[in-house]
Amino acid sequence: MQAEAWISAESTSARLHVVAGVLRDTHGRVLIAQRPAGKHLAGMWEFPGGKCEDGELPIDALARELREELGVVVESARPLIAVPHDYPEQRILLDVWQVSAHSGIVLARESQPLAWAEIDDLARLPMPAADRPVITALRLPDRYLITPPLPPDETDTVVRGIERACRKGVRLIQLRLPGWPSDRLARVARSARNLCRDYGAQLLLNADWKLSAVLGLDGVHLPAAIAATLTQRPLPADRWVGVSCHDAAELAQAARIGADFVTLGPVFPTASHEGAATLGWEGFADLAATTALPIYALGGMEIDDVDAAQVSGAQGVAAIRALWDA
């Protein structure tokens, strides 16, 4: 009896490690393949890939699967996102890589239907549930600016800073101005929104999702304390909902309410949260592995930290100072 109980606990905890690759064409479209009839999730569109064999490194499994299924040789690839997902029949870790260079011409070596899809069209295609955070990760940039806590008479400074960031290529911005009266906040948010539209940048408002919706901003970023009071996402699917997280419980709550992405930190000490306990990259990676959502590393981040963050399971970095200062 005891041995049986042990075996079943073991088998429910083991995840099937699946690797998949995102290949792009010259227009930035991504390659998807249709799963064959008779297999798990038959008929759904997926990123080409398959199961990691025992003892095989994920990058080697990726190269093997893409050679077998598409006839291409992977020249270079980097991790995009690893999604733990529980299907009723199977628990998987969907480990998705961006293939930045490959050689050979893409062929359907297993006669599977192939298509090149625009990233913005992926959400409308029938794709497996585990791919939802992957699609989000493909739509999100690797840098996330949070505005510094400026006093309410500094409207021009806020707008100029956002424009400076947009010019430097920042495409995701959280407007966070604690203590601003709502009329001033609304005024600066409108100017920032128009500016962001010109640059194709997304503007999220900290905490106040109602004001975000009224002003037609791109979404909201919720402090953990507010996310804790919710049972579902406060904005529809066509708006962004981010959540600030610091531990596993907050990450789980963000997933429960259907957030799109999170920030997690502090990774390193920061002026804005002096004395707070820090995660370091190791602690960050351990926590990152518990969630399916795209994560921005936060706290003491420099622009140069994007690579380290991605190696530790992040989408990229969130920062005030490093992305605000010219």
Ligand X SMILES: Nc1nc2c([nH]c(=O)n2[C@H]2C[C@H](O)[C@@H](COP(=O)(O)OP(=O)(O)OP(=O)(O)O)O2)c(=O)[nH]1
Contacts to Mg ion by CB under 5 A: 50
Could you tell me the smallest distance in angstroms from the CB atom of residue 25 to ligand X? 18
- Binder of residue 131, out of Mg ion, ligand X, none (CB less than 5 to 8 A by kind): ligand X
Site stretch for ligand X (CB under 6 A), options 126-134, 150-158, 204-212, 247-255: 126-134
**Taking the complex as a whole, how short is the minimal distance between the CB of residue 92 and ligand X, in angstroms?**
5
The one-letter amino acid code at 163 reads E
* Nearest approach, Cβ of residue 237 and ligand X (Å): 20
46 binding partner (options Mg ion, ligand X, none; Cβ < 5 to 8 Å by kind): ligand X
- List, as own/partner pairs, every contact residues 255-259 make where C-beta atoms lie below 8 angstroms and the sequence separation is at least 24, other chains included: 255/291, 255/292, 255/293, 256/231, 257/227, 257/230, 257/231, 257/232, 257/233, 258/232, 258/233, 259/222, 259/227, 259/233, 259/293
Contact 108, 116 (CB under 8 A): no
Query: Is the separation of the CB atoms in 158 and 188 below 8 Å?
Result: yes
90 binds, among ligand X, Mg ion, none (CB under 5 to 8 A by kind): ligand X
Name the DSSP letter for residue 129: G
Q: Which of 63, 72, 77, 128 binds ligand X (CB under 6 A)?
A: 128
Residue 68: CB atoms within 10 Å: 12
Q: Which stretch binds ligand X (CB under 6 A): 124-132, 139-147, 213-221, 303-311?
A: 124-132
Report the nearest approach of ligand X to the CB of residue 41 (Å): 5
Residues with Cβ within 8 Å of residue 244, at least 6 apart in sequence: 221, 222, 223, 224, 227, 250, 262, 263, 298
Q: Report 27-66 residues binding ligand X (CB under 6 A).
A: 39-41, 46-47, 49-51
Q: 3-class DSSP state for residue 310? A: helix
Q: How far apart are CA 56 and CA 197, in angstroms?
A: 45
Can you tell me which residue has the tokens 């037609």?
A: 216
Closest CA to 17 of 47, 55, 63: 55
Looking at the Cβ atoms of 39 and 124, the one nearer to Mg ion is 39
81-120 residues in contact with ligand X (CB under 6 A) are 90, 92, 94
Interacting partner of 92 out of ligand X, Mg ion, none (Cβ under 5 to 8 A depending on kind):
ligand X
Shortest Å distance, C-beta 108 to ligand X: 13
**Pick 56 or 247: Cβ nearer ligand X:** 56
Binding site for ligand X (CB under 6 A): 18, 20, 39-41, 46-47, 49-51, 90, 92, 94, 128, 130-131
